[in-house]
Amino acid sequence: MGKLLNSIGELAPKKTKDKIASLLEFSSSNEDPKHWLGKKITYSLIISILVIAVSLLLKLNILFTILLSITFFSITLFTSYTLLYFRVEDRKNQVERTLPDLLHLIASNISAGVTPMVALRMAARDELGPISDEIKYVTTRSMSPESLSQIFAEISKKIKSNTLERIVELFASSIVAGGNIIRLLDTTAEDLRETQELKRQLVSGTSMYIIFILFMTIVGMPMLFSVSLQFIEMLNKFQIKQTVNISQQIGLAINSPISAEFIYNISLTTILITSLLASIFISVIHSGKRLNGLRYAPFIILASYISFFFMRFYVLKFLFGF
């Protein structure tokens, strides 16, 4: 089975395999990228086949069935990639949050009279998260003939963080060059704390934009669509039942009513697309990364649809008797 999955994964483009290999390494996974790709492609194919089977049972259009199966195949693959990406990002964020504490611990240990490598090993506490495992691994190789730069580079290879990479390079070069390492570590830790606090202030300063986007997406847009749809349905009923020309009654020239089903489909599609875009905008405002917005997308989409149907079937009927 493993060879079959590897063969399927081998069919993926080299660029894709390299990207997955990089993400697996950053997520601290030892799984082979070809095996990972083969497994996810197989899962996606199974889901596509199930979709085709259900569509044939329901006697849906062949072209629609093919498009639906391709869509589910793509969504399943993309979801697998996204979950792997989120795991890498969560690992990175956890490490960057604990970096100031780690640097203070190392500085305290060095000031107690131990060597920098021993101080680094002593600072690798479990509560610091993923970085502690990488530090323990690196310090066990400190007696190898490799240079300190090569040894410390292993830390940044397992965690995707530019901040961590710069700090590792700084720490390695300070050990080689000498100098006041304690002051360097304490100053760096304080700078990191100030940077993190500044980011929190920037996020809190943009909270009103996020609230406005959420309000318009979850409340404003569904309300407008539900009102429009209800008006079209009411207008179509009047058009069918009228005994006099409706254009004389309301002063509008109406030749043929707009299909309520068309407006309904447009409403659902627009809510879906707008909710996805809103989640991406919120992620860009909050973290500066578009892909992270997919974390919020399912909840925003669900809330928008609930709001749309609630207003359509309950609020409007209660207020206006539509």
| Tens-digit pLDDT profile for residues 134-181 | 777 777 766 655 666 666 777 777 788 888 888 888 877 777 776 678
Please identify, among 76, 92, 108, the residue that sits at the C-terminal boundary of a domain.
92
Contacts 24+ apart (CB under 8 A), 318-322: 322/230, 322/233, 322/234
Select from 34, 68, 92 the last residue of a domain.
Answer: 92
Q: Is the distance from CB of 232 to CB of 316 less than 8 angstroms?
A: no
What DSSP character marks residue 29? -
Instruction: Decide: pTM greater than 0.85.
Output: no
Residues 312 and 218 reside in one and the same domain: yes
CA of residue 305 relative to chain centroid, distance: 21
Distance CA(267)–CA(106), nearest Å, equals 57
> Residue 147: phi, psi to the nearest 5?
-75, 160
Q: What is the DSSP letter of 145?
A: S
Higher-pLDDT residue of 25, 172: 25
Together in a domain, 184 and 98 = yes
Which residues, 6+ apart, have CB-to-CB distance to 78 below 8 Å? none
| Rounded Cα–Cα distance for residues 19 and 27 (Å) | 12
Model pLDDT for residues 218-258, shown as the tens digit of each residue: 998 998 888 888 887 777 766 655 544 544 555 544 555 56
Q: Domain of 36? A: 2-92
Do 118 and 197 fall within a single domain?
yes
Residue ending a domain, among 62, 92, 122, is 92
Instruction: Identify residue 237 by its one-letter amino acid code.
Output: K
Q: Which residue has the higher pLDDT, 199 or 178?
A: 199
Token readout for 145 is 């003939």
Structural domain count, the chain: 3
- Which among 152, 205, 140, 209 is positioned nearest to 176, based on CA atoms? 152
pLDDT for 131: 82
